[in-house]
Amino acid sequence: MSSMRAGLYVSEKKVVVGEVDKPLLKQGEALIKVSYAGICGTDMMIYFGRHPRAKAPLAMGHEFAGVIEDINGDCSFAIGDRVVIEPTLSCGTCEACTSGQYHVCKTLKLIGIDHHGGFAEYAAVPLRRLHQIPEGLSAAHASLAEPLAVAVHTVRRSDLKVGDNLVILGGGPIGLLIGLVAKQAGANQVIVSDISPYRLNKAKELGFIALDAKEENVNEKVAALTDRVGADIVFEVAGSPATARQMTDLIKIQGQIVVVSVFKQPPVVDLAAMHFKEISLTTTRCYSRGDFEKAIRLMANGIIDVSQVISHQLSLEQIAEGFELMENPDVSLKILIQP
């Protein structure tokens, strides 16, 4: 069996470049030569040793694009096609799967978490999880289809109406992409709250109102910006106990909170405030195939420019540096690894 180079999570806060077996294709899979793979918040959770399913040694990376090198099975793709990977692995038999909602499969797994992913020279991917990269869309940008699909799904799950005022708690890549999608869907004011000057500056560059949660009274600022009414929708994307407590303060009567974060510990939420304001609470997980296809179209048609959230492009040999950079939100946003 031949080997390949991979960036491997081996223990808490340790990622190294090593050799692993090159994937052998099962029926219904394609071998992808990886072009770019993005480091995301879930990868950081694995890196810190906090993910319950990820086991070392593991080539992480579930946001990636590449070129088909081999195919085992019948499909509409051909060797040499450029593709982006939808990394969800569903059982196909539970109620969610049989009703067309495989993204909330009872036993959902992901490439790059439960199996080797995109931080490697090659990856084996089910044929049904491949999407063609349109002509004119770079592989680097296409690799962000996964986080953009999260944003598309999040906005679609919300009750956003044209002219609504939004607050996004958390100015990381997902939060900023939600803001860009929401603007396209007709949002009026998009207010982003964060504690990183670097990410707040990026929010301003994207045309959002940026509030420094360390230096400003975010509750008072949002009240002033919304004529003392409050936000129509609050998107919680920071995953911190502070924002979980704060989200009910920022929302208007009968407004909507959309929780995007996966909290490491159950947070404290003011249910009394939700009761008295008749606040609606919506959660969101992953994306559907339709969301993924929409994300690709938004990039290919130039409607969403994902280059604005890419802070670094590094080689596979620099993967440890990439994870160290991601530890500091004041110097990084979306980091792409190029195997």
Secondary structure of the chain in the HEC alphabet? Answer: CCEEEEEEEEECCEEEEEEEECCCCCCCEEEEEEEEEEECHHHHHHHCCCCCCCCCCEECCCEEEEEEEEEECCCCCCCCCEEEECCEECCCCCHHHHCCCHHHCCCCEEECCCECCCCECEEEEEHHHEEECCCCCCHHHHCCHHHHHHHHHHHHHCCCCCCCCEEEECCCHHHHHHHHHHHHCCCCCEEEEECCHHHHHHHHHCCCEEEECCCCCHHHHHHHHCCCCCEEEEEECCCCHHHHHHHHHHEEEEEEEEECCCCCCCCCCCHHHHHHHCCEEEECCCCCHHHHHHHHHHHHCCCCCHHHHEEEEEEHHHHHHHHHHHCCCCCCCEEEEEC
Same domain, 137 and 26: yes
pLDDT for the residue 265:
85
Q: What domain count does the chain have?
A: 2
pLDDT digits (tens, 9 = 90+) for 310-337: 999 999 999 999 999 999 999 999 999 9
Same domain, 180 and 128: no
> Is residue 228 over pLDDT 80?
yes
Q: Is the peptide bond before 267 cis (omega within 30 degrees of 0)?
A: no
Q: Which residue has the tokens 């509030």?
A: 211
| CA angle, residues 7, 18, 286, in degrees to nearest 5 | 25
> Is residue 1 over pLDDT 80?
no
Name the residue type at position 158: S
**Nearest C-alpha neighbor of 323 from the set 338, 336, 307:** 336
Confidence class for position 214, pLDDT limits 50, 70, 90? very high
d(CA 111, CA 130): 12
210 in any annotated domain? yes
Same domain, 216 and 132: no
Q: Are 17 and 316 in contact (CB under 8 A)?
A: yes
pLDDT for the residue 111:
96
Q: Are 50 and 113 in contact (CB under 8 A)?
A: no
- CB atoms under 10 Å from CB of 107, counted, come to 12
Same domain, 31 and 51: yes
State which residues form the domain around 96.
3-143+305-338
Residue 167: half-sphere exposure toward Cβ, Cα within 13 Å: 34
Same domain, 10 and 119: yes
Confidence class for position 45, pLDDT limits 50, 70, 90? very high
Same domain, 158 and 106: no
Strands 88-89 and 82-85: unpaired
pLDDT for the residue 68:
98
Where does residue 94 rank: exposed (0-12), middle (13-18), buried (19+ CB within 10 A)?
middle
Tokens read off for 12: 């808490």
Percent of the chain with pLDDT over 70: 100
pLDDT for the residue 20:
94
107 Cβ contact partners less than 8 Å away, ≥ 6 residues apart: 90, 91, 94
273 in any annotated domain? yes
Same domain, 134 and 171: no
- Mean local confidence (pLDDT), 231-243: 95
pLDDT for the residue 282:
96
296 in any annotated domain? no
Confidence class for position 264, pLDDT limits 50, 70, 90? confident
- Average of per-residue pLDDT values in the chain: 96
216 Cβ contact partners less than 8 Å away, ≥ 6 residues apart: none
299 in any annotated domain? no
pLDDT for the residue 230:
97
60 in any annotated domain? yes
> Is residue 181 over pLDDT 80?
yes
291 in any annotated domain? no
Same domain, 139 and 155: no
137 in any annotated domain? yes
Question: Residue 130: which CATH number?
Answer: 3.90.180.10
Same domain, 28 and 121: yes
pLDDT digits (tens, 9 = 90+) for 277-307: 999 999 999 999 999 999 999 999 999 999 9
- Mean local confidence (pLDDT), 101-106: 91
pLDDT digits (tens, 9 = 90+) for 108-152: 999 999 999 999 999 999 999 999 999 999 999 999 999 999 999
Q: Are 213 and 195 in contact (CB under 8 A)?
A: yes
pLDDT digits (tens, 9 = 90+) for 189-208: 999 999 999 999 999 999 99
- Mean local confidence (pLDDT), 273-278: 94
298 in any annotated domain? no
pLDDT for the residue 263:
86
Question: Residue 264: which CATH number?
Answer: 3.40.50.720
Same domain, 22 and 137: yes
Same domain, 169 and 247: yes
Q: Are 195 and 156 in contact (CB under 8 A)?
A: no
Same domain, 309 and 277: no
